[in-house]
Structures are given as C-alpha cells and as structure tokens.
Amino acid sequence: MTIRSEGMGELLSCPFCRELFAEEEGPLCPECELPLVPLHQLPLSLDALAELEGSSDPPEDQRLPPLYLGRGRGLMLLLSVAGLALFFQPWITLTRPDAMSLSGHELAGAHAPWLWGGAVAWFILIPLLLSRRSVNELRGIRVIATLFAAMTLGEATMLLFNAPVDHGYFSAGLGYAWGLYASCLVAGLGLVVALRLGGSLEDFRDLPVENSQACGPQAGESLH
C-alpha cells in the first residue's frame, strides 16, 4: 500500500532514523545522508516486531509471574521461611540448675549474639527472592543465597562441636533439641537449592506460556 499525504506526493522515510519526508524534500536524509525509500517498503521496526511477538527480551530476561515457584524459587522461599521459624524453636535443653530449653533466639539474645547472622540472612533472603522475577535475576543471587544458607549451617555446626564434654567427674547437663538438628537440615537443603537457583539456560519449556513466546515455535507449531 502506497501512503500519500494531502497535497503532496508519496511519503518517503529514512531507513535508519525513520524520519518522514515528502518527495519534494530530496532523495537523501539530511541527518543520516542515506537514500530515502517509500514508507511502505520499509520493514517493521524493532518496536513493532516486539509488539507482534509479545516481547523483545530473550526468555531468560522475561518477567515471570509474581507467584512463580519454579526453578528453585518456591523451594528456596519455603526453606527461608522454615529456617527463620526454626530459629525460635528449641535448640538446647538444660537439666541444671532447672530443666529448661533455649531457642536459637534466646541463645542469641543472652549468650551467643553471633547466632543472629543466620536468622537475619533467612529474613533478608525472603524479599530478595520475591523481587527476582526472571531466570537471570534468580541465577544472579546464587552466590548470596548460598552464603546465607551456609551461615546457619556454620553456626549450628559450631554449637554441635563446641559443647562441654561430660566425664565421670563433671556433667554440664546440656543437650541438643530438635530445632537445632532441623535447622542444620534446612540449611543443608538450602545450600543445594541455592547452587541451582534459576535453573539452566538451555531449556525454557518449563516457563509460563506468556514468557516462552521468544523461545521459538514449539514442536508441531507452524510458522505464519
């Protein structure tokens, strides 16, 4: 289709800057010094192609739904919440002078302030994961997520291997509760998940349909 303006001839356009000119304005673009061509002969611009295809971003950079739980995001969120909750569960039991149990929170507040590091790490990791909305963004926090999970694992290991040793003449009356062992388990799983956070860049078939349009036609799909 030929486009003509009122009172003028056919509209011409610069193939680089896409400025429009009348035929009477000359054969060259004054800015780019390129030959002008009829507007209808130009291919679609990148913006127009992006609108037709849905997105110009590669699949690994496309925005995922806010509640997307794949590629380790959902599991890492669950482990972060569990790790933070376990900080308030019994970690240590005492039999003297009175029978009692102490949570990680109580130990950090009274005897071991260095235990706060793991709890704060779990707390920060939750909004950090929620704010990452693409595959590349999730892969970009692998290192920090691994470090955060390792903090609780390291703290719990220090408690386990530095307990007072009971012998025939002395008993500290100290034991370990289920919360400490569960924290070690959650932190260990967190390390494994964090190292694979975001998944692979080779296959995007697991992404939501609206975010996989740029991956090319699926098997059996015809091109138009």
- Domains of the chain in start order, with CATH, are 11-60 (no CATH), 68-201 (1.20.140)
Q: What is the pLDDT of residue 34?
A: 72
Split at pLDDT 50, 70, 90, the class of 44 is low
220 close to 186: Cβ distance less than 8 angstroms = no
CA angle 221, 216, 137 (to 5 degrees): 140
CB-side exposure of 221: number of CA atoms within 13 Å?
8
Secondary structure class of 29 (helix, strand, coil): coil
The dihedral over CA atoms of 141, 143, 146, 148, expressed in degrees to the nearest 10, equals -80
Q: What is the pLDDT of residue 95?
A: 74
Residue 47 has pLDDT above 70, yes or no: no
Q: pLDDT tens, 166-183?
A: 554 544 567 889 999 999
Q: Which amino acid belongs to residue 168?
A: G
Q: Tell me, what DSSP letter sits at residue 31?
A: T
Q: Tell me, what DSSP letter sits at residue 167?
A: B
Taking the C-alpha atoms of residue 165 and residue 16, their distance in angstroms, rounded to an integer, is 78
Secondary structure class of 12 (helix, strand, coil): strand
Q: pLDDT tens, 181-190?
A: 999 999 999 9
**Considering only CA atoms, which of 14, 18, 20 is closest in space to residue 37?**
14
Q: What is the rounded average pLDDT of the residues 127-132?
A: 95
For residue 217 the two structure tokens come to 């036609």
Secondary structure class of 80 (helix, strand, coil): helix
Split at pLDDT 50, 70, 90, the class of 20 is confident
